[in-house]
Amino acid sequence: MVMAPAPAAAQAAPLVSDEALDGLLDQITVLKAQHKQLEQQLEALLESLSAAMAAGQLDPAFSHNDWAFSHSAGRLSYAYPAAVGQLERQLKAAKEAAIQQGSATEKRGKPFWTIKPPSAPALPF
């Protein structure tokens, strides 16, 4: 007698218990919230650092306690003439057509998680 294989989800045993998974998710969300708070604090400090550089107190590149600091003017971008915009739209349409016709091959990048905080604070009840 030949048995049909069980679905993949049924074959794989959970790597962690539900309780351990809840704990893992709690740790991740706490760290993510702390990370966001630290980023906000760092942003204010970096603005002060930029002001000190603008005032001539700092060079754009220096070291402090073996940490290297280097100021970047920001990513360069361009505003193109309308003709270039039209060519971009034509290229986008050609790419979409290649996808629909099946002549474009699909490829994926490295897997990653996106973790966002709740949009509103939880109510106390």
The Cα angle at residue 99 between residues 95 and 104, in degrees rounded to 5: 85
Answer whether residue 42 is part of any domain: yes
Q: Which pair of structure tokens corresponds to residue 60?
A: 């754009």
Q: Indicate if the pLDDT at residue 30 is higher than 80.
A: yes
Spatial neighbors of 36 by CB under 8 A, at least 6 apart, are 117
Q: Residue 33's domain spans which residues?
A: 16-61
**Structural domain includes residue 39:** yes
In one letter, which amino acid is 114?
T
pLDDT digits (tens, 9 = 90+) for 53-95: 999 999 999 999 989 999 998 999 999 999 999 999 999 999 9
Mean pLDDT of 31-35: 94
Hey, what are 32's tokens? 């993510």
Give the CA distances from residue 12 to residues 8, 20, 21, 24, in Å, rounded to whole numbers and listed in that order. Answer: 6, 17, 16, 19
- Do the domain assignments include residue 117? no
Q: Of the candidates 113, 117, 121, 112, which has an alpha carbon nearest to the alpha carbon of residue 34?
A: 117
**Is residue 32, in this structure, part of any structural domain at all?**
yes
User: Full-prediction pTM beyond 0.95?
Assistant: no
Nearest to 26 by CA among 38, 18, 14: 18
When divided into structural domains, the chain yields a total of 1
Q: Which of 53, 31, 50 is nearest to 42 (CA)?
A: 50
